[in-house]
Structure 1
Amino acid sequence: MSIIWIAFEVIINFYEGFMETYFIYKFLPPKTESTKKNIIAFALCFCTLGLLITVMNYLTIFEGILGIVCYLMALFLYALVNRKGSIIKKLFAATVPLVMISLISIITLNFVSSVNSMSIKEIVTESGFARFTVLIFAQALFFISVKLMLKLLATTSENFNAVEWIAIILILAISIIMMFLLHLIAIDSTQRLYINLLILTIVAVNIIIFYMIDSISVKNNQKKELELLKIQEQYSHQYIENASQQYDSIRKIRHDLKDQLSAVYTMIVQGHADESMKYIEKYVNVISISESFVNTDNYIVNAIINSKFAVAATEGIRTNCSCIKSFDGIDDIDMLHILSNTLDNAITASEKITDESERFINLDISKTMDIYRIVVRNAINESVLKRNPSLKTTKLNVHKHGWGIKIIREIAEKYQGRCEFYESDKMFTCLITLKSTLL
């Protein structure tokens, strides 16, 4: 074997490692914004893969399961260290390029073997035109497949949840084992055409199953979005009703203002100062129920907090709010769901306390750098987490309720944040952090 041929095969091996790494690089977003670090990690991965492929080709004719496991570990380590995403998604990203190159190599080998009337072992071991054709044709197909797969996943992968990702990975793993076994049969078989047809059938089944999972996932997401829209509509109606009640209260207060002032004036003139002070205090309490508790630059935040605090006031619940002015980088609908659910839960819990003097709700919304911090505290008369650690709904219509906590957690995950619940000194605390989507 000449030095030129050896160099050619090594270049092919490193190119294959490059394309496998490239798939992960494009499919998963980076953990760091440092271009230098991302380039170094990319180069280390594809160079490691190139060396592994070269060494495995030198040690054995067919890498087999051992080679695939080594390549998978290298790709998965790169995804784990340098790219974002769940463990399942990273495992999928490491598996797909290996499945594609294995499939393409098997089909190409069998096709060229059939055309040239040569055994697969002869093609792999000899440095001739057949071997050259297999290498060039396989890598060209691999390049096209990677591009097409990335384009396909760009429009479908966001629909999948963890269970669906696991199903796809298992199907891919079973498929690659089946294709590898068929390849072993094809090495000494004269019926390579039928084996190729079986392999293509496996590919077709994988494609059909992938689209079926995607279709089911889309329908599930649509169903979920519909439920969210129903919840949003419910809160919108509730806000309109509360706003209407507040408006009626304000109109009544304005209408009665002249009479109230006349009554106070008369009591003062007649020397009933104490009675007039009590009368004014009672009148101020009525007005306070209709006042605005917060005034930010976001009308949805204003509407939700003011309407919920107005409801709390009618139930004898003391409220306190410390809030920032703007909420850049957070979707208005997401803020609606977070504030509606947390404040509803706080009001419900506070209503269970018999002594109204102990009822309170504290809302604190702050921002440090690009991280929003939402803290809702309320009084409790007994431990909620001990009695209901998973915070499942206790309402009768479970299919209509019990979405609140799940929605909050999903929104926190969407913004790379967290949602935590804890208790201390008869006080329940909900802590939510959200990362602004603005760069």
Structure 2
Amino acid sequence: MKQEMQILEHMLYLQKQQFKTSKDTIDIINIKCHDLKHQISQLEGRLSESELNELKDAISIYDLSVKTGNDVLDVILAEKSLKCWQNAIKLNCMVDGAILSFMRSSDIYSLFGNAIDNAIDAVQKLEDPDKRVISLSVKRAMGMVAIHIENYYKGALSFENDLPKTTKKDVRYHGFGLKSIKMIAQKYNGFMSFDASNYIFKLNILLPFRQEKSDR
């Protein structure tokens, strides 16, 4: 148990460092995209409409501006949206990030980062493009913050200690993504649950809503 907690704490530390790097990178990309859009607007009249549209479409891929009402969640969704695009995965989001203001930045990054990464890993194995979809929702309901993420998966899931067994070659961190999510949920007096049936994996996190803001 002590070793497991040390691994989880180390994972959270690494994810905190990754968040800082991701935020800096996405900020730079967004600035560059803004500059390129301005330069394209100056080319109007010199290029055909189809050429302009092609340029705009190419830039829009890297336009990582996401506004959920929570800066940390904006960074995560921008980062994961690009990863999904690179892997031909559609990420659907209906998110009210403002209701997460009571959570620490590192906890938001770890919880959503692990949840979306797990979904991406599962969806990447699917060949049917209609099933290469991840749905995420964050909303307030009956005094609770309800976080829901679902995705299709392939094959049969096996379980160990009530958690799905990893399909990755490196099993050293088996199950620690979900264990980390569960630990964060419990930290805020909430809980995590999941359902795997009909080849759809559904992850649910419920947290009591709090008005106060985190000191980050």
- When normalised by structure 2's length, the TM-score is 0.75
By how many angstroms is 1:250 displaced? 4.6
Distance 1:236 1:369 in 2: 31
Q: Is the 8 A contact 2:107 2:184 kept in 1?
A: yes
Distance 1:259 1:414 in 2: 48
Q: Aligned pair 1:372/2:145, yes or no?
A: yes
Q: Which of 202, 213, 235 in structure 1 is aligned with 2:15?
A: 235
Unaligned runs of 5+ in 1: 1-216, 269-275
Closer/same/farther in 2, CA of residues 311 and 240 from structure 1, 3 Å limit: farther
Q: Which residue in the other structure is 1:251 paired with?
A: 32
The SS at the match of 1:289 is coil
By how many angstroms is 1:404 displaced? 0.9
Identity %: 22
Distance 2:33 2:102 in 1: 40
By how many angstroms is 1:285 displaced? 4.7
Distance 1:242 1:357 in 2: 29
Q: Which residue in the other structure is 1:307 paired with?
A: 79
By how many angstroms is 1:432 displaced? 1.2
After superposition, give the CA deviation of every residue in 1:20-61 in whole Å (9 maximum; x if it has no partner). Answer: xxxxxxxxxxxxxxxxxxxxxxxxxxxxxxxxxxxxxxxxxx
Q: Is the 8 A contact 2:76 2:112 kept in 1?
A: yes
The SS at the match of 2:203 is strand
The SS at the match of 2:164 is coil
Higher relative contact order (CA 8 A, sep 6+): 2
Closer/same/farther in 2, CA of residues 257 and 427 from structure 1, 3 Å limit: farther
By how many angstroms is 1:280 displaced? 0.7
Distance 2:197 2:79 in 1: 28
Q: Is the 8 A contact 1:330 1:436 kept in 2?
A: no
Distance 2:179 2:9 in 1: 15
* Aligned positions of 1:24-103 closer than 5 A: none
By how many angstroms is 1:392 displaced? 2.0
By how many angstroms is 1:281 displaced? 4.6
Distance 1:303 1:256 in 2: 21
Q: Which of 76, 85, 90 in structure 2 is aligned with 1:318?
A: 90
Closer/same/farther in 2, CA of residues 418 and 250 from structure 1, 3 Å limit: same
Closer/same/farther in 2, CA of residues 353 and 293 from structure 1, 3 Å limit: farther
Q: Is the 8 A contact 2:194 2:202 kept in 1?
A: yes
Unaligned runs of 5+ in 2: none
Q: Based on CA coordinates, which of the two structures has the bigger radius of gyration? A: 1
Q: Which has the higher strand share?
A: 2
Q: Which residue in the other structure is 1:411 paired with?
A: 184
What number of residue pairs does the alignment pair up? Answer: 207
By how many angstroms is 1:369 displaced? 3.6
Closer/same/farther in 2, CA of residues 372 and 229 from structure 1, 3 Å limit: same
Q: Which amino acid aligns with 2:7?
A: E
Closer/same/farther in 2, CA of residues 360 and 294 from structure 1, 3 Å limit: farther
